Amino acid sequence: MPELPEVEHLRRSLAPAIVGARVLAVTVRRRSVIDRGSASFDDALLVGRTIVATHRRGKQLALESDDGRALVIQLGMTGSVTLEHGTPPRGMDARHRHVLWDLLPSAASGDPSPAHRWRMAFRDPRRFGGLTAYASLDELERAWTVLGPDALTLTARELADALRDSRRPVKSALLDQGVTAGVGNIYADESLFAARIHPLRPAGSLGRDESTRLAGHIRRILRRAADRGGSTLRDYRDAFGQPGSAVQTHQVYGRAGEPCVACRRPLEAMQLGGRTTVFCPACQHLST
DNA sequence: CGGTACGCCTGAAGGC
DNA sequence: TGCCTTCAGGCGTACC
């Protein structure tokens, strides 16, 4: 389930290959995954344009074209973007490959013969993800105003400001993309465990030292996971089909009933806002 | 405001 | 082996 580290690693693996590349053509297999606004499919999907940059805010990935358009890719639960040269890798069953771009890398700009073409594929079996087209970077920026500060660079002050005056459980606040963008179920549990804060703690009850500690752990855990290529539970793959290894560093997620790495008592699971939440009832405190 | 539930979707996994 | 149920959860929306 892609969260910020998975999207950031995908961006890093994608960017060197697609920045500078020209979109020669696009194949749309399933129109419903695309929100193109008033644009045509070709315009929305950057046909004929050169990709000049990649951007990311939270879990959203954006491709910027040379005419100032932006295409946002959201992976949802099971989305992936892969780069292929020739035939698609095994396991990429066709019915979930919704959009295919034929790309001509900048290095081959003078020779558009098939030997130099790459194909970028958006695949998403469950279709919780999708593509959204923006006619300008201003429009993209406006859309992103609903997102809080990016979790990878979240400051203690930003987190404290966002949590203040809120009585909802701190984990619910972390999952709110308007509080900070990029934290999902896995890294919310991991960050709260690292900070020794109980998921049910009212967000506004965190002391200054606690919110500072929490912000630090969020940044550190997300950065390390991104550097490890993200958490591959089942679906996640980077642009070249490689899984990430961050799962090995998880201390609570997926470990309910197993001993806490700190105190050896069994980790507990509960439902919070419909999400499975794993925590250590001994190490993570319900009050200051 | 917050919380709860639901719908969207498919595939993996477990029970029988 | 195969059928059925349950679970996974990002995100938008309805409703209390």
Q: What's the confidence (pLDDT) of residue A110?
A: 63
Q: Which residues touch strand B (CB under 7 A)?
A: A 32, 77, 93, 96, 125-128, 166-169, 172, 234, 273-274
- On chain B, which bases lie within 7 A of the protein's CB atoms? 1-6, 8-12
Q: How far is the CA of A174 from the C1' of B5 (A)?
A: 20
Lowest mean pLDDT, pick from A52-66, A95-109, A190-204: A95-109
Q: How far is the CA of A229 from the C1' of C9 (A)?
A: 21
| Rounded Cα distance, A50 and A19, in Å | 8
Could you tell me if A104 and A47 are in contact, meaning their C-beta atoms sit under 8 angstroms apart?
no
pLDDT in tens, A223-246: 999 999 888 777 788 898 888 888
Residues 6+ apart with CB under 8 A from A63: A18, A46, A51, A53, A54, A70, A71, A73
The percent of residues in chain A predicted with pLDDT above 70, rounded, is: 97
Give A90's pLDDT tier (boundaries 50, 70, 90). Answer: low
| Rounded Cα distance, A6 and A151, in Å | 13
pLDDT for residue A248 is more than 90: no
> pTM above the 0.85 mark?
yes
Tokens 């034929």 belong to which residue? Answer: A102
pLDDT in tens, A103-130: 999 876 667 677 778 999 999 999 999 9
A3 catalytic per annotation: yes
Q: Does the nearest atom of strand C lie within 7 Å of A147's Cβ?
A: no
Q: Concatenated DSSP letters for A205-230?
A: G--HHHHHHHHHHHHHHHHHHHHTT-
Tokens 């993200």 belong to which residue? Answer: A230
A59 catalytic per annotation: yes
| Rounded Cα distance, A259 and A272, in Å | 21
Average per-residue pLDDT in chain A? Answer: 91
Give A288's pLDDT tier (boundaries 50, 70, 90). Answer: confident
Which residue out of A57, A59, A119, A123 is catalytically annotated? A59
